[in-house]
Structure 1
Amino acid sequence: MAENIFDCPLPDENGFFGEYGGAFIPPELQVIMNEISSSYDEIRKDSDFLNELADLYQHYVGRPSPLFHAKHLSKKYGAAIYFKREDLNHTGAHKINHCLGEALLAKKMGKKKLIAETGAGQHGVALATAAALVGLECDIYMGEVDMEKERPNVVRMHILGAKVIPATHGRRTLKEAVDTAFENYLKDPVTQFYAIGSVVGPHPFPKMVRDFQSIVGVEAKEQFQQITGKLPENLVASVGGGSNAMGLFTAFINDESVAMHGVEPAGRSLEIPGENAATMTLGKPGVMHGFKSYMLQDSNGEPQEVYSVASGLDYPSVGPQHAYLKDIGRVNYHYVYDHEAIDAFFELSREEGIIPAIESAHAVAYALKLAKENNNGGTILVNLSGRGDKDIDFVVENYGDKYGIK
């Protein structure tokens, strides 16, 4: 692993990125978080741990993931478009990067069970995989709506030996899965390890997940320079909680010539509350799930109901480092509607032979917009965070007629 993968000045010792982050949790849970933070600070400097993780990244995950020049789309849109192929990782997405790190940490801490939430199921599959590898029990909490929508991933989790527990309240999607997972974690935080699936939650999870995911940007930066001799002009990644975006962005944050673009879901409408998950566009600072960040809120200041065609982006808040990067102007945040993401899903499939996850298709859609706007060419590097196997049945059932699939 690159030497600088864990070398970032933020957050501060209390887990804050500026005013965002921290740990807004009960005192008894703070004791557990302190133990996790202390153990993480030890293992991230431990050469044996880092070597074990690097070996798994190479021989188990298949890292480094390739960097692919999308020549057909590049020619069509007049910009050099590249994809970081996280969809080719074992389990089909970037999630395995932090799941292996969290599973190894939990094992070293003597935990007996890994628990987590999942939306699209990619984090759930990755954590179930890691749990099987290191020999821990695994419970995955998933909204009933998402369980039906992402049935292939539910089956994968069962095959891997995990229990998939439905969240049955509210809209029965990702936010409710997080609620249910936290409730059950609080019942036994001593023997269970909550392996949070993004750069969200109380400190140290936004830092820890970012660190494990930063291998994406470290690799991409080296690969892009080897291929082109320079840095990319633009980075593009989808943002729900924000782990794949932070994974790509971290290595480039100090490179001022590189513009960074986070893409969130506008769903069916930005005007109707509950019909989008455009946190950075419409939200304001608030606290939920143990951390402070931008949050979509109802009239009482509670988390607003949200929606996205992409189950993995269906969350009313965002990682605190993203909120900080928005405020200081280092990252530009944009939105893409459902229909634009589905158009991009099919366009990438038919132009380059790559079927993306719907989450990743949001980033692809914005990258194509950016290419159109950039009349003088330019370079765009997209984090293709996951593959679309999990979405095929849903897409065909709901959008197949439009694209000639009967």
Structure 2
Amino acid sequence: MIEVKPNPSMLVHHGSYGEYGGAYIPPVLEKQLQQLADFFDSETQKEDFNSEFIQLLKNYVGRPSALFHAKNLSEHVGSKIYLKREDLNHTGSHKINNCIGQILLAKRMGAREIIAETGAGQHGVAAATAAALLNIPCKVFMGAIDVERQALNVRRMRLLGAEVIPTELGSKTLKDAVDAALGYYIENPTSFYLLGSHVGPHPYPKMVGYFQSVIGQEARQQILEFEGRLPDSIFASVGGGSNAIGLFSGFLEDTSVAIHGAEGGGDGTYPNTAATLSFGKPTVFQGTRSYCLVDDKGEPIPSKSIAAGLDYPGISPQHAYLKDTNRAQYYPVTDQEAIDAYKLLSRLEGITTAIESAHAVALAIKLLKDKNELAIVNVSGRGDKDVEREM
């Protein structure tokens, strides 16, 4: 099993990634989040914590996840493509890595319940799963629209014992689920807020990056074992940014490796998009400074994407930093391009990926066409939840 450690290139002091990050929060949350930051820093230096985390990843989640040479897709595209199979994890996505880690922290902190937000439902399922395993109550906040379009995952969460709380706020999607969860957290300080993506105030991006870094560590070792060299490029979908930073973290210092993020492009035009890094501007949103989709007055606007997990107007502060420093390139991928890739991967490889991950597949197909390059695409989740939707 690959050892999970903080990666110096991705973990930063005080939650800052260049000009991005930080904790822009009401005073009532300052003490809670500082205690969480200090506790995280302390526990992740302890051998017993990391050992328990690693063993659960191995024996419960099923890690390491496979790195699969997609021969048929490779032949179709004209480049050698490997898929990092996070869809094979228990619960069917990368989200379980972070949920196991954070709930281990919650138990050690003596939290009485877990609260979480979810869009596509994969984080909600993973949170409910880890909460059931570690015997702690769980509440999951979800936008009312997402409750409808991700009905299968809602049923899974309830089966696992979680209370799913729909919110009718705003656009009734992921942004509003985060607002509802934060509001509950402020009123219930004995709860543990398990944020699912690489967003929000410090220390959440730092924690999520740590727990998801196993993806990149594994992928790096696997590709060296299989090919004897690093890939020319890597790809991942980017909503808030957790699966992407998980993969990217293993290659940030390898300047020969091109890094590509696929955003939810909607119909390809502003404002009918969720491509924050492509169309947004730096601002403070939901506790951190990063890029955000805003109107002429600088106020956040609703995002639009076929993928509930990408349907978010904000973005990870580290992705914002990677964009500005040109270490990573980000591209909008339209709904139709993602649908086409979703169908193509199913038919060529027998892998029905999440519509979120299909954005990364679509981008790889576009950029790798007849390039004869070596690439890794992160398949961050499975597509069962999307099969019943009209595509």
TM-score (norm 2): 0.98
Residue identity matched to 2:6: F
Relative distance call for 1:4 and 1:193 in structure 2 (3 A) is closer
Deviates more, 1:215-224 or 1:3-12: 3-12
Match of 1:270 in 2: 269
**Residue of structure 1 equivalent to 2:335:** 338
User: Partners in 2 of 1:383 and 1:334 — Cα distance?
Assistant: 16
Aligned to 2:315: 318
Q: Is the 8 A contact 2:28 2:186 kept in 1?
A: no
Q: Which residue of 1 aligns with 2:290?
A: 293
Where does residue 357 of structure 1 map in the other structure?
Answer: 354
Aligned to 2:224: 225
How far off its partner does 1:303 sit?
1.0
Report how far residue 301 of structure 1 moved: 1.7
- Partners of 1:28 and 1:315 in 2: CA distance: 25
Asked if 1 retains the 8 angstrom alpha-carbon contact of 2:3 and 2:54, the reply is no
Cα deviation code 1:76-103 (max 9, x no counterpart)? 1110011000000000000000000000
Q: Which residue of 1 aligns with 2:384?
A: 389
Q: How does 1:48-87 map to 2 (within 5 A)?
A: 48-87=48-87
Q: Which residue of 2 aligns with 1:143?
A: 143
Q: % of aligned pairs identical?
A: 54
CA distance in 1, matches of 2:322, 2:73: 29
**SS in structure 2 opposite 1:5?**
coil
User: Within 2, Cα distance between the matches of 1:90 and 1:300?
Assistant: 44
Deviation at 1:2, TM superposition (A): 4.5
Tell me how far apart the structure 2 counterparts of residues 280 and 156 of structure 1 sit (CA, whole Å).
32
Q: 3-state SS of the aligned residue for 1:347?
A: helix
- Give the corresponding residue for 1:380: 375
Equivalent positions of 1:2-401 (< 5 A) are 2=2, 5-189=5-189, 191-271=190-270, 273=271, 275-372=272-369, 375-394=370-389, 398-399=390-391
Query: How has the CA–CA distance of structure 1 residues 198 and 184 changed in structure 2, closer, same or farther, with 3 Å as cutoff?
Result: same
Q: Secondary structure at the match of 1:333?
A: strand
* One-letter amino acid of the structure 2 residue matched with residue 215 of structure 1: V
Unaligned runs of 5+ in 1: 400-406
Cα distance, 1:288 vs structure 2: 1.1
Is 1:80–1:378's contact at 8 Å kept on the other side of the alignment?
Answer: yes
Question: Secondary structure in 2 aligned to 1:285?
Answer: strand
Distance 2:80 2:287 in 1: 41
Secondary structure at the residue paired with 1:236?
A: strand
Q: Distance in 1 between matches of 2:386 and 2:368?
A: 26
SS state at 2:387 partner: helix
Name the aligned partner's letter for residue 183 of structure 1: G
CA distance in 2, matches of 1:304, 1:4: 37
Looking at structure 2, the residues matched to 304 and 8 of structure 1 have their Cα atoms a distance apart, in angstroms, of 34
Change (3 A) 1:376 1:298: closer
Given that 1:97 and 1:213 are in contact with CA atoms closer than 8 Å, whether structure 2 keeps it comes out as yes
Q: Which amino acid aligns with 1:75?
A: E
Contact 1:5 1:218 in 2 (8 A): no
Task: Give the superposition deviation at 1:11.
Answer: 4.9
CA distance in 2, matches of 1:10, 1:95: 19
Partner amino acid, structure 1, of 2:373: G
The alignment of Structure 1 onto Structure 2 pairs a total of residues equal to: 391
Q: Which 4+ stretches in 1 moved above 3 angstroms? A: 1-4, 9-12
RMSD of aligned C-alpha atoms? 1.1
**Whole-Å Cα distance in 1 between the matches of residues 263 and 350 of structure 2?**
24
1:269 is displaced (CA, Å) by 3.3
Q: CA deviation at 1:305?
A: 1.0
Maintained 8 Å contact 1:139/1:165: yes
Take 2:165 and 2:178, find their aligned partners in 1: how far apart are those partners? 12
TM-score under structure 1 length normalisation? 0.95
Structure 2 CA distance for aligned equivalents of residues 200 and 209 of structure 1: 9
* Contact persistence 1:10–1:16 (CA under 8 A): no
Q: Are the aligned partners of 2:132 and 2:161 in contact in 1 as well (CA < 8 Å)?
A: yes
The 2-side partners of 1:239 and 1:166 are apart by 24
Residue 376 of structure 1: how far off its partner (Å) = 4.0
1:336, 1:362 within 8 Å by CA — same for their partners in 2? yes
Pairwise CA distance, 1:28: 2.4
Equivalent position amino acid for 2:26 in 1: P
Deviates more, 1:56-65 or 1:291-300: 291-300
| Structure-2 residue corresponding to 1:404 | none
* Alpha-carbon separation, structure 2, partners of 1:129 and 1:303: 32
